[in-house]
Amino acid sequence: MEREMAEKKMEPNSSLGKAIRYYLKNYYGLSAFARHAEAPLDNNPAERALKPAVMIRKNSYFYKTGRGANGGAIILSMITSCRLNGTNVWNWMVSVLKRSSEVSSNPAAFLPWVYKGEAVEEEVARAA
């Protein structure tokens, strides 16, 4: 490619010329996956991790008020937290809504990464 560019076999301002210049300028970074065996060929896990944040932002455009958008963003972020921590979203939400007075007095016990489910909580209550 360097020879092609040096011999001016293509127009430097053409799409191909710009692409080749970009490649030559960024060769080291673009070829990192070939030098490092542990480097993945794609970044799908990173994109999957970012998708909920993008969806929350996108969905907030359709709320009527800023307060509604804020509430919706909180709910969607809690749903995402449940999914990332392996917590059943539906059971968690039902439990939080049913036991709102307990949630108010001890919110840390109902965080998605702490919550173990209704069955576990009932066993603990029976044992106490």
Range of the domain at 53: 44-127
- Same structural domain, 105 and 65: yes
SS3 call for 88:
coil
- Same structural domain, 58 and 109: yes
- Same structural domain, 29 and 58: no
CA atoms of 102 and 12, how far apart (whole Å):
68
Which tens digits make up the pLDDT trace of 90-115?
989 898 899 889 889 988 888 888 88
Question: For the chain, how many structural domains are there in total?
Answer: 2
Which tens digits make up the pLDDT trace of 50-93?
888 788 778 777 888 888 888 888 888 888 888 888 888 898 98
- Same structural domain, 76 and 18: no
The number of beta carbons lying within 10 Å of the beta carbon of residue 118 is 15
Would you state the structure tokens that stand for residue 45, as one six-digit string? 């896990």
- Same structural domain, 53 and 113: yes
Q: In 3D, which of 128, 95, 89, 127 has the Cα closest to residue 110? A: 95
- Same structural domain, 52 and 18: no
- Same structural domain, 18 and 63: no
CA atoms of 94 and 99, how far apart (whole Å):
8
